[in-house]
Amino acid sequence: MDLGLTDARVIVTGGSRGIGLAVAHGLVAEGARVALLARDVARIEAAADEVRASRADAEVLTAPADTTDAASVEAAVGTVVAAWGGVDVLVNCAAQPSFAAGPAALADLADADVAADFDTKVLGYLRSARAVAPSMTAQGYGRIVNVSGLNARRTGSISGTIRNVAVSALTANLADELGPSGIGVTVVHPGLVETERTPGMLADRAAASGRSEQEVLDDLGKATSLHRIVTARELTDVIVFLASPRAAAVTGDSVSVGAGNRGSVHY
């Protein structure tokens, strides 16, 4: 299936590693032009070189940006618009992974930590969407995909659930407001995804629990319907489709990509 992404102008926030970098690879494979936004200049330049090496005609830009700073985001988007004349797709990935540390108990949960989590993911996504909206509105077309997480549908991390539910609410509001201008907005809820961070996470959990890394991985898999975690490629395939014109009729909705969220019924 031709997804219609050839020469599409795409911004991926958090594009220097993890899910964002995997998505950049997937979009370039479809012929899209991709701009990587992230805070670490050296890291996004290295990521851009990696993506360029994956396809001979790949067109990849880098634009350093801190999504907690509106002016920084607007400047980065301005760089992309100046280079390519507009933006067709925004994929929001810039957020701290939920598995980076164990969730804090209520007594240990600091206001500042929750606020920082919310500022980076929810307000960061809002700032990025607000910056690309004028370009998309002017051309009468755009796709925005917000990468959130399955903590939106389960307890266990107060901050994780708050931020991911908020991203869903943001998505639905943006879809309603921007839809008449031809802009679709969706949110993807990954579960645990296998990326370059996974070995370190498994090692940390194994050390903390006194079990082997394989035992930890097996337990994580058993929490899903498929009894395994999702690969970055599998998640990327869903995101790339939602970023394409083929998904034009899908907007305002949440899509779970977690190998099956056992014990839950969604309707």
Q: How far apart are CA 83 and CA 158, in angstroms?
A: 41
pLDDT of 127 above 70: yes
Q: What is the mean pLDDT of residues 195-222?
A: 79
Sign of CA dihedral 233, 239, 243, 248: positive
Residue 154 has pLDDT above 70, yes or no: yes
Assess contact for 189 and 226: CB atoms under 8 A.
Answer: no
Can you tell me whether residue 250 is helix, strand or coil? coil
Which segments of the chain belong to CATH 3.40.50.720? 9-191+235-251
pLDDT tens digits, one per residue of 68-104: 999 999 999 999 999 999 999 999 998 876 554 567 7
Residue 36 has pLDDT above 80, yes or no: yes
Helix (H, G, I), strand (E, B) or coil at 166: helix
Q: Quick one: which H or E segment has residue 76?
A: helix 70-84
Q: Give pLDDT, residue 97.
A: 67
Distance of CA 52 to the CA centre of its chain: 20
Sign of CA dihedral 78, 79, 84, 88: negative
Q: Please give the backbone phi and psi of residue 183, each rounded to the nearest 5 degrees, phi first.
A: -110, 125
The length of the chain, given as a count of residues: 267
How far is residue 158 from each of residues 59, 110, 163, 189, measured CA to CA in Å?
40, 11, 9, 17
- Residue 233: pLDDT over 70: yes
Q: What CATH class has 9-191+235-251?
A: alpha beta
Residue from 245, 71, 41, 257 nearest 146 by CA: 257
189 membership: H or E segment, kind and range: strand 183-190
Residues 6 or more apart from 211 whose CB is under 8 A from it?
A: none
**pTM for the predicted model, two decimal places:** 0.92
